[in-house]
Amino acid sequence: MIALVDCNNFYASCERVFNPSLDGKPIVVLSNNDGCVIARSQEAKDKGVEMGEVAFQRMDFYAANSIHVFSSNYTLYGDLSRRVMETLASVIPEIEIYSIDEAFLDLTGYAQFNDLATLASTMRERVYQNIGIPVSVGIAPTKALAKIANRLCKKLKRKNGFIILDNQEKIDAALKMVAIGDVWGIGRRYAKLLNGYHVTTAYEFTKLNDDFVKKHLSVVGLRLLHELRGKPCLDMEFSASAKKNICTSRSFGSQTDSYLEIREAVANHAAMCAEKLRRQKSCAAVVSVFIETNRFDTRQVYVGRSKSINLPVASNDTTELTHYALKALDLIYKAGIRYKKAGVIVLDFVPQENVQANLFDVENRERKKQLMQTVDKLNRWAGKGMVKLAVQGTGSFNVKAQNEPKEHRSWQLRRERLSPRYSTCWEELLTVRI
DNA sequence: TCTGGGGTCCTAGGACCC
DNA sequence: TCTGGGGTCCTAGGACCC
């Protein structure tokens, strides 16, 4: 059996952990740049706040309904996520961290005790006691069915917080209650297609024949079909595999046509890509930069441009990746256009130890490697962005709004309703008065 | 003034090989 | 009257996930 543990309204729940006065109150969390709603507490859902709605159009509604609005605080969510996962792993070590708020647990060897209910309760209680985050648990013979169980658990608002599908009767009943579009792996397109064939529930999907599914949904759909019939096709992945490409991009707080500001943004994105590469011990052979205008702005024609550059030698060096990223930027930047977003993508990875040298390479790579190690060490010790390239500018991405330097950069994120980094920053720790 | 930011996998078709 | 039979690699596009 496999369990899927999923945090309830995760980001909204995180905001509550250090601010219990928010218990029972409606909360929404906004995307980067305070753009759209990406998380809602149950109370906010009940008041009619939709996933993805555009925040600035709804501010009056939020105010009128006493809905608490937060900017995304990924430093906080990431740290609480890590703690949730650690607690789950203390119960069941066979854990696959699937996303920031979900994990699959392999219960093989635990199922024999035939007391999955106790197990599910234990996990929920321990996570709530240790971190203060409520979770839902779905348990079933396959990953896809565990997802179904979890989905149903939330949909039915189960008091005990878990659903166990341990026989065919329960599985069928569950499948009949889940709409096809809510099945893991069925997106908007496939839902529409299947609806066209009068398939509206997960149960009806399991009655389709293999060839039909393979033809229309490829082998991915076929695997899902078998999973929903109870035949495991998706393995557990206990260790995170290295990424095959890495992208760092942000919308600007406000539009800008300033070359210097955009250059600063691109330099920061490139530096972040380099840092992520070093963390997974990869080097990239290609760096790609894109810039674009606001797609929603009707007063200006949409412009999106990108440029890839092949590096002479695959690298994860900040100075080198930044150098080529800025070179790419120069090739696509045009003055007189108001840009809204920029990003850097690195791809074509090779393991750090496996980099093919270039006969004409003039870099002292060993020396630069040591430099990067030192920079990473300093930044880990003293805080993100402590040591960086001058071209990245003196404003910092990760400094909390009120501590930000006076000079304003229009590329910097808008995050006007940011909560403190309660658990990762000395200056922002909770103060308790006795 | 204002609309997010990451990722993965699969398939078809073209170019090329012997 | 007639024009083989395999392959691989790469890319773009489409689907999906959180």
- Read off the pLDDT band of A402 (50, 70, 90): very low
Asked if residue A401 has pLDDT above 60, the reply is no
Q: Which residue has the higher pLDDT, A71 or A405?
A: A71
Point out the nucleotide closest to A338 (alpha carbon to C1′).
B1
How far, in Å, is the CA of A344 from the C1' of nucleotide B17? 35
Nucleotides of C under 7 A from a protein CB: 14-18
The answer to whether A7 and A134 are in contact (CB under 8 A) is yes
Asked if residue A430 has pLDDT above 50, the reply is yes
Distance CA A339, CA A255 (A): 5
Nucleotides of B under 7 A from a protein CB: 1-11
Give the pLDDT of residue A432: 86
**Which amino acid appears at position A330 of this protein?**
D
Asked if residue A393 has pLDDT above 70, the reply is yes
Q: Which residue has the higher pLDDT, A405 or A146?
A: A146
Asked if residue A165 has pLDDT above 60, the reply is yes
- Read off the pLDDT band of A358 (50, 70, 90): confident
How far, in Å, is the CA of A265 from the C1' of nucleotide B1? 20
Asked if residue A403 has pLDDT above 60, the reply is no
Across A281-292, average pLDDT: 94
Q: Write the secondary structure of A1-43 as one string of H (helix), E (strand) and C (coil).
A: CEEEEEECCHHHHHHHHCCHHHCCCCEEEECHHHCEEEEECHH
Give the pLDDT of residue A407: 60
How far, in Å, is the CA of A191 from the C1' of nucleotide C1? 54
Give the pLDDT of residue A395: 60
Give the pLDDT of residue A397: 42
- Read off the pLDDT band of A398 (50, 70, 90): very low
Point out the nucleotide closest to A295 (alpha carbon to C1′).
B3
* Protein side of the strand B interface (CB < 7 A): A 31-33, 35-36, 38, 52, 54, 56, 218-220, 243-251, 254-255, 269, 276, 294, 296-297, 340-341, 343, 345, 413
- Read off the pLDDT band of A112 (50, 70, 90): low
Asked if residue A400 has pLDDT above 50, the reply is no
How far, in Å, is the CA of A244 from the C1' of nucleotide C8? 21
Asked if residue A288 has pLDDT above 70, the reply is yes
**Tens of pLDDT, residues A15-62:** 999 999 999 999 999 999 999 999 999 999 999 999 999 999 999 999
**What are the contacts of A157-162 at 24+ separation with CB within 8 A?**
A160/A117, A160/A120, A160/A121, A161/A120, A161/A121, A161/A124, A161/A134, A161/A135, A161/A136, A161/A137, A162/A117, A162/A120, A162/A121, A162/A124, A162/A136, A162/A137, A162/A138
In whole numbers, what is the pLDDT of chain A averaged over residues? 92
Q: Which residue has the higher pLDDT, A423 or A112?
A: A423
Give the pLDDT of residue A399: 42
Global confidence as pTM: 0.93
Distance CA A54, CA A30 (A): 9
**Tens of pLDDT, residues A199-255:** 999 999 999 999 999 999 999 999 999 999 999 999 999 998 899 999 999 999 999
